[in-house]
Amino acid sequence: MPEPMKMRATMAGDIADIKVLMNHPMETGLRKDAKTGQIIPAHFINEVTAKINDVVVLQADWSSAVSKNPYLNFKVKGPKAGDKVNVSWKDNMGATNSVDGVIS
């Protein structure tokens, strides 16, 4: 099972600032293992979705070009303190992870 993600969602006026740290190796498929010389298979997040109160506010398609343990920060106009936030990802090997929170 993937490691838990960390999220912070805060209000600044009428804009929600959402910050997410995702734990993932994000392998490109181009590196070799130093001990065996074998190519490390590609393993990266390719779908990211963010919802506020079950309404999609961000949907992204990523590739192997994103760094290890990616950090995502985005702002949304309109939510209110107390609204529920969910951010989830799926990787190219079928693994998924998500984090739930409340805007403060």
The pLDDT of residue 2 is 77
Q: Is residue 1 part of a domain?
A: no
pLDDT at 1: 61
Neighbouring C-beta atoms of residue 83, cutoff 10 Å? 17
The H-assigned helical ranges of the chain are none
Nearest CA among 23, 7, 19 for reference residue 73: 19
The tokens of 48 are what? Answer: 């990211």
pLDDT at 69 over 80: yes
| Residue 50, in any domain of the structure | yes
Give pLDDT, residue 55.
Answer: 98
User: Is residue 32 in some structural domain?
Assistant: yes
Mean of the pLDDT values across residues 62-85? 97
Share of the chain above pLDDT 90, in %: 97
What is the extent of the structural domain holding 71? 6-102
- Which CATH number does the domain housing residue 47 bear? 2.60.40.10
Structural domain count, the chain: 1
pLDDT at position 57 = 98
In sign, the C-alpha dihedral spanning 20, 95, 57, 86 is negative
